[in-house]
């Protein structure tokens, strides 16, 4: 049991399970992008912990930068996406890898992929730690998925409930 603000959560994915899955994804990325020097774009705030742990395990040369978007207010997706920090790197001709914490409705990712595509990268792939297939409203292809989870609110390991819970080592699900 874990209390975050006014809500109760139960343990859903342990730190150990996260670590194992992340090492596996990192191996796949290292293999798929060998010799390609990709530009990794991590999506703040939610993916900060995932990006950090994932990138430590990827063992090919790459560049890493961050973008920031926001679409959530407390527990509901607003359906509108605000770009708070844009991409400052040259995207044109690059192999871009977008790293997200979770693809829920897919609205944020769709918006992000559109704005990156306009800058003519050589390729774009998407890594998301979590995917809620039942919540998808936009067709988004996630190339590397950590865990497919039911359409229930989760916190921890970067994900927040109204700004809280990001620092938890594990992922918790709303009780
Ligand atoms: P989407 O646009 O609906 O796909 O929402 C994506 C963003 O909403 C994610 O990057 C998260 O920041 C946030 N989000 C979606 N589901 C959850 C959740 O269960 N817990 C915390 N944040 C979430
Ligand atoms: Mg996010």
CA 79 to centroid of ligand 2, rounded, Å: 13
CB distance 9 to 164 below 8 Å: no
CA 114 to centroid of ligand 2, rounded, Å: 16
162 is catalytic: no
Query: Does 45 contact ligand 1 (Cβ within 6 A)?
Result: no
Question: pLDDT tens for residues 23-76?
Answer: 999 999 999 999 999 999 999 999 999 999 999 999 999 999 999 987 766 566
CB distance 4 to 173 below 8 Å: no
Element (H, E) at 31: helix 15-32
CB distance 109 to 100 below 8 Å: yes
CB distance 78 to 105 below 8 Å: no
Question: pLDDT tens for residues 68-108?
Answer: 987 766 566 666 666 666 777 799 999 999 999 999 999 99
List beta partners, residue 174. Answer: 9
């Amino acid at each position: 049991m874990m209390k975050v603000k006014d809500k109760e959560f139960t343990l859903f994915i342990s730190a150990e399970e996260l670590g194992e899955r992340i090492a596996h994804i990192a191996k796949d990325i290292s293999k798929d992008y060998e010799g390609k020097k990709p530009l990794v774009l991590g999506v703040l705030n939610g993916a900060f912990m995932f990006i950090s742990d994932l990138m430590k395990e990827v063992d090919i040369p790459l560049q890493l930068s961050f973008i920031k978007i926001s679409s959530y207010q407390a527990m509901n997706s607003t359906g509108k996406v605000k770009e708070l920090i844009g991409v400052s790197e040259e995207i044109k001709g690059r192999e871009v890898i977008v790293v997200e914490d979770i693809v829920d409705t897919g609205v944020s990712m769709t918006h992000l992929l559109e704005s990156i595509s306009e800058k003519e990268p050589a390729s774009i792939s998407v890594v998301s730690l979590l995917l809620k297939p039942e919540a998808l409203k936009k067709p988004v292809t996630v190339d590397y998925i950590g865990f497919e989870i039911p359409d229930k609110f989760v916190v921890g390991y970067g994900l927040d409930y109204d700004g809280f819970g990001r620092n938890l080592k594990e992922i918790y699900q709303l009780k």
